[in-house]
Amino acid sequence: MLDITGKNVGITRGDTGQFTITFTGDDKPEDGSTVFVSLKKTKNSEDMIWEKRYTVSNDTVTVTLTSDDTDLPFGQYWWDARIRFMDGTIFTPMLPASFKVLEVIGDAK
């Protein structure tokens, strides 16, 4: 199960899923810009659980979550997205948002 509410993500442990980030407004990146999507256990943690890089195309990136990405202990994590524009400028278009790994009963492995 994948549930997106606003910028908050909930996904069942071990599941795969995708969601799309669409950029609008004055600060939207041009095609070819890089978006970094990062996950940490706490907002203040120095340790990254994972970071994914995507290239903007048609004002969007599609974030793909593998079962390895979501095979984490149940609980709340934090994610954000940062943009590196073609000229090297870095911009963070969002505050960190909740990323919850939800409990599951069965094992599909």
SS3 70: helix
Give the residue ranges of the chain where pLDDT is below 70: 107-109
Q: 108 lies in a domain?
A: no
Rounded distance between C-alpha atoms, residue 2 and residue 46, angstroms = 27
| Residue 25 in tokens | 């407004």
Listed in sequence order, the DSSP H helices in 11-107 are 67-70
Q: 107 lies in a domain?
A: no
Question: Which pLDDT tens digit goes with each residue over 27-45?
Answer: 899 999 999 999 999 999 9
User: What is the reported pLDDT for 3?
Assistant: 96
CATH number of the domain to which 68 belongs = 2.60.40.10
Considering the entire predicted model, what is its pTM?
0.91
Per DSSP, 86 falls in state T
Q: SS3 for 10-30, per residue?
A: EEECCCCEEEEEECCCCCCCC
User: What is the reported pLDDT for 108?
Assistant: 65
